[in-house]
Chain A
Amino acid sequence: MRAFVIRRILTSIPAALGVVTLVFFMIHLAPGDPVEIMLGENAAPADKAAMTRQLKLDRPLAEQYFSFLRGVATFDLGESIHTKKGVAESIAERYGATLILTLASMLFALTLALPLGALAAVKKDTRWDRGAMLASLIGVSMPSFWLGPMLILAFAVELKWLPVAGADGWSSVILPAVTLGSAMSAILARLTRSAMIETLGEEYIITARAKGLSGFAVIFKHALGNALLPVVTIAGLQLGALLGGAIITETVFAWPGLGRLTIQAINARDYPLTQGCVLTIAISYLAVNLLTDIMYALIDPRVRLK
């Protein structure tokens, strides 16, 4: 197991290094002078010179790169151009909100997907199956930037059950979590269905049925547990993907998380903060994927041996 974990960590390092490199070069890809883009064309030359120095853009590229790498390793990502606050500090303040949102979305997705997928599998090729799969197709096709406002209109404006936006108490997480989790739920429902169908065809299930076990016991005691393994793995991997989707959802609901901070940084042309946010989301995604793989190997020994 230890060898697997070490191997898996080692294979993540090149990707992480690649991400850091890409994010470093972001600022250099800007068409024109990045300092002028951030401060505006009419900024005083002294201000421009100060900003160039602050961002170390006057140093050789290699020096800039290694300084950036050092900064990433020590969580020193510079300071925001507009708020003058440390980038790492700004991100840390928002990270918790994004974490709550993604976990709540995943909880919603799994709660809906597992029974729906299991039902579709057990009632394969019936009206139930087709209905469940149609519902999941609709879920996948609904963009979050449409579903979000529609949920706001229905549950916040018309019914007044839930708050329109912001993060004030547990009720404010419901609509953003449903918005972010619905597409995920649709994907997981489809996956649960196919995993269940495969499991229901296994010999031990046929044996269980032949022994005279009730349909309920076969499905819940024998089939669902085994079918869940791939579903939970994909759910883990998708948890990281939710971090990407959170950018739009947080913008729709004015949720004070990392995604909204990213868009605020972009709109303010605050490159250090934008770089910090993008880097944090991508590295978190890699870390979640790494943890999921390790957890999977812990649960299923066959994975370690591959």
Chain B
Amino acid sequence: MKALPMNLKIGVAVTAAFILIALCAPWIAPMSPVEQDLYGGLAGPGPDHILGQDRLGRDILSRIIFGARVSLFVGLVVTAISVTVGSFIGAVSGYAGGRVDDFMMRVCDVFLAFPGILLAIAIMAVIGPSVTNVMLALCVMGWTSYARLARGQALSLKEREFIKAAEALGASPLRIIFRHILPNIAAPMTVEATFGVASAIVAEAGLSFLGLGAQPPYPSLGSMMAEGRQFVLVAPHLIMFPGAVIMLVVMGVNFFGDGIRDWLDPKR
């Protein structure tokens, strides 16, 4: 058994801490995330409120803890759906080849022609801001990269002997895709998916920051930053702490992804 790389250990620790905090939010948050204290509006960090209070005097630490829930939930759901849809489409495309492959890859090209989160922004502009719509928009945007990866893997797998043997035994294309191709591409897809969670968390926060994501009083890390943006000169803690948490989590997840890739790398 290979020793776990250091980046994987750090990644696991940070990611696990984040998940634990998100799951246990109601028990570990010092206060309610929506409880207002108008006298304490924009107050900086202090003994009663470790990370300070927002415009309405709500406790920032509690809001970050609950906001982590929204971010994690969105990150996991979006990645799970995108990976599932993308893997299936990519596997079908790669295995079928020919016109099916051509058509599906052209469709991918169209979705990939929108740089960054532009497609999600465009979708949100039309369907309106809410957490559910954010997830929908990010799924529409996110499946293509997984489809590309799965297709590449399927293209090389379909030339392998065990697939040829399954075909010779009369296995249907769907059976080959579900029983042979998808299980064999699970490892690279999992590595890609860990990076996908980080991207989805940042994308959700970005959309919320632009006012297109979670709506108040729902605390999401991005919407907290959007609220804090107008007070950046007088109360920088409003934007500093939620952003630092996003960065820490994304770094943890990236460490986790890098670590898994290193660990699975046979050359190591």
Residues of A within 8 A of B (CB): 14-16, 18-19, 21-23, 26-27, 29-31, 137-138, 140-146, 149-150, 152-153, 157, 164, 240-245, 247-248, 251-252, 262-263, 265-267, 274, 278, 281-282, 285-286
Query: Are the CB atoms of A243 and B115 closer together than 8 Å?
Result: yes
Query: Are the CB atoms of B251 and A282 closer together than 8 Å?
Result: no
Query: Are the CB atoms of A244 and B114 closer together than 8 Å?
Result: yes
Neighbour of B121 across the interface among A143, A144, A153, A247, CB < 8 A: A247
How distant is A273 from chain B, measured CB to nearest CB, in Å? 10
- A interface secondary structure, majority: helix
A144–B209 Cα distance when bound, in Å, is 11
Q: Is B125 an interface residue (CB 8 A)?
A: yes
Q: Which residues of B contact A242 (CB under 8 A)?
A: 115
Q: Is B165 an interface residue (CB 8 A)?
A: no
Query: Are the CB atoms of A19 and B236 closer together than 8 Å?
Result: no
Query: Are the CB atoms of B206 and A282 closer together than 8 Å?
Result: no
How distant is B227 from chain A, measured CB to nearest CB, in Å? 12
Query: Are the CB atoms of A149 and B236 closer together than 8 Å?
Result: yes
Residues of chain B in range 209-248 having any CB-CB distance to chain A below 8 Å: 209-212, 222, 225, 229, 232-233, 236, 239-240, 243-244, 246-247
Residues of B within 8 A of A (CB): 106-107, 109-110, 113-118, 121-128, 198, 202, 205-206, 209-212, 222, 225, 229, 232-233, 236, 239-240, 243-244, 246-247, 250-251, 254-255, 258
How distant is A65 from chain B, measured CB to nearest CB, in Å? 16
Query: Are the CB atoms of A143 and B113 closer together than 8 Å?
Result: no
Q: Which residues of A contact B251 (CB under 8 A)?
A: 137-138, 141
How distant is A231 from chain B, measured CB to nearest CB, in Å? 19
Q: Which residues of B contact A241 (CB under 8 A)?
A: 115-116
Considering only CB atoms, which chain B residue lies closest to A145 in the complex?
B209
A281–B113 Cα distance when bound, in Å, is 9
- B interface secondary structure, majority: helix
Neighbour of B240 across the interface among A150, A266, A285, CB < 8 A: A150
Q: 17 A–B contact pairs at CB < 8 A?
A: A18-B113, A22-B110, A30-B126, A141-B198, A143-B243, A149-B243, A150-B240, A152-B232, A241-B115, A244-B117, A266-B125, A267-B211, A274-B125, A278-B118, A278-B121, A278-B125, A282-B118
Q: Which residues of A contact B123 (CB under 8 A)?
A: 26, 29
Given A31-B128, A137-B251, 4 other A-B residues pairs in contact with their CB atoms under 8 A: A22-B110, A137-B258, A143-B202, A266-B124
Neighbour of A146 across the interface among B107, B247, B255, CB < 8 A: B247
A144–B110 Cα distance when bound, in Å, is 26
Q: Which residues of B contact A252 (CB under 8 A)?
A: 229
**A15-B106, A149-B232, A263-B210 given; A244·B122 CB < 8 A:** no
**A143-B243, A146-B243 given; A248·B126 CB < 8 A:** no
